[in-house]
Amino acid sequence: MFFLNRSSLLNLLTAVREYCVCSKSKRLSFDDLTTFSEEDLLNLTGISVSNLLALLKAVELSIRNTPARTVATTIGIFLFKLKSGLSNKVLSTLFDVSKSSVRRAIQTSRKVLMTDFVPFNLGFSHISREDVINKHTRNLAQLLFTENKEQVILVLDGTYIYIQKSGNFQFQRQTYSMHKGRPLVKPMVIVTTSGYFISVIGPYLANSKNNDASILHHIIKNNIEEIKNWVKENDIFVVDRGFRDATSVLEELGIHAQMPSFLPRGSNNYQLIWQTLHG
C-alpha cells in the first residue's frame, strides 16, 4: 500500500506543474499518453502505461466521451484523485473542468470499474482453483505444505487503509484504532503464494470487535463471495497468530491453518533450538 509523505507529494505536484508547463493547453490531460513517460504516469496515477491502456479498454464501452472530458481523462481524474488525495476544487483547476464535472468523473469511474473491471480481476469468482494451483502457486510452497496437487494454498492477512477523522462521532469511534493511534478501516486481503490477489473483502471497522480472527469468522459464517463453495477440504490457509481464535471455524470446513508456532512461556529462541537439538 502506498502512502504520500511531504516529499512524495511535493514530487507529485512538481511533475504536474512540469507537464502543464510543457503542454500547449497548460492543463493536465490523459488524452495523449505518449506525452507521459512511464515514471511520470506512475507518479500521477500509480499504474503503468500498459496497465492504464488495458484499463481503458475494459471500460471503453461503458463510459462516453463528453464535451468536457474524454474517457481517458475521466479515468485519469479518478486515478489521480486516489493517488494524490487532492480536493475536487484543485483537480478542477488542474484538468480545466468544473468541480461538478470532476465529481461526476469520479462517480462514473467508480461505478463502471465495479461493474466492468473488478468482478473480472478480483474475488473468488474471477479465477478457478485449477488456475490458482497451476499458475499462481510457488513450488516451494507446494513442497512445504501440500501432499497432493489438488490442495489450494492461500495467504490471508488483514491490512489497514488510513482515513481522515470523521465528523460523525459514532463512526469516529468505530474507525479509531487504539493499536495504530489513528482512524482507519481494515480490509481482509487474500493472495496466493506468488502474490496474486484473489480477493479483498471488507473493509471492516477498526474497533476491537474486528480483529483478524473475528473478520475471518464473519467471512466464513456468512459465506462472503461464496467462499465455502470455492474452498475444499484439505486446502491450506497460511495465517499469522492473530487468526488463532478462528482455527476452529477453519477446522469445521476441513481447512488446515498454517501459522507460526508459539514459544513456551518464559522460553526464547535459543532455548527452543537447544531443546530441538538435544531432544
Confidence of residue 166 (pLDDT cuts 50, 70, 90): confident
Give which of 83, 113, 81 is closest to 97, Cα–Cα.
81
- Please name the residues in contact with 225: beta carbons below 8 A apart, sequence gap of 6 or more: 123, 124, 125, 199, 201
- Report the C-alpha gap between 185 and 207 in whole angstroms: 9
Least confident stretch, 15-24, 130-139, 176-185? 15-24
Q: Grid coordinates standing for 260?
A: 507460526
pLDDT tens per residue, range 59-70: 988 988 888 788
* Backbone φ, ψ for residue 149 (5° rounding): -85, 5
Residue scoring higher pLDDT (8 or 180):
180
| Average pLDDT rounded to a whole number, residues 245-268 | 80
With a cut of 80, say whether residue 192 has pLDDT above it: yes
- Report the C-alpha gap between 219 and 158 in whole angstroms: 12
Residue scoring higher pLDDT (243 or 18):
243
Q: Grid coordinates standing for 193?
A: 503464494
- Report the C-alpha gap between 41 and 35 in whole angstroms: 10
| Average pLDDT rounded to a whole number, residues 235-243 | 92
Question: If you average pLDDT over every residue of the chain, what do you get?
Answer: 86
pLDDT tens per residue, range 2-42: 556 677 767 777 776 665 555 545 578 888 888 888 888 88
With a cut of 90, say whether residue 263 has pLDDT above it: no
- Report the C-alpha gap between 231 and 107 in whole angstroms: 34
pLDDT tens per residue, range 70-83: 899 999 999 999 88
DSSP result, 159-200: --EE-PPPSSHHHHHHHEETTTTEEEEEEEEEEETT--EEEE
pTM for this entry: 0.76
Strands (E), 40-94: none
For the beta carbon of residue 236, count every other beta carbon within 10 angstroms.
Answer: 23
Cis peptide before 203 (omega within 30 of 0): yes
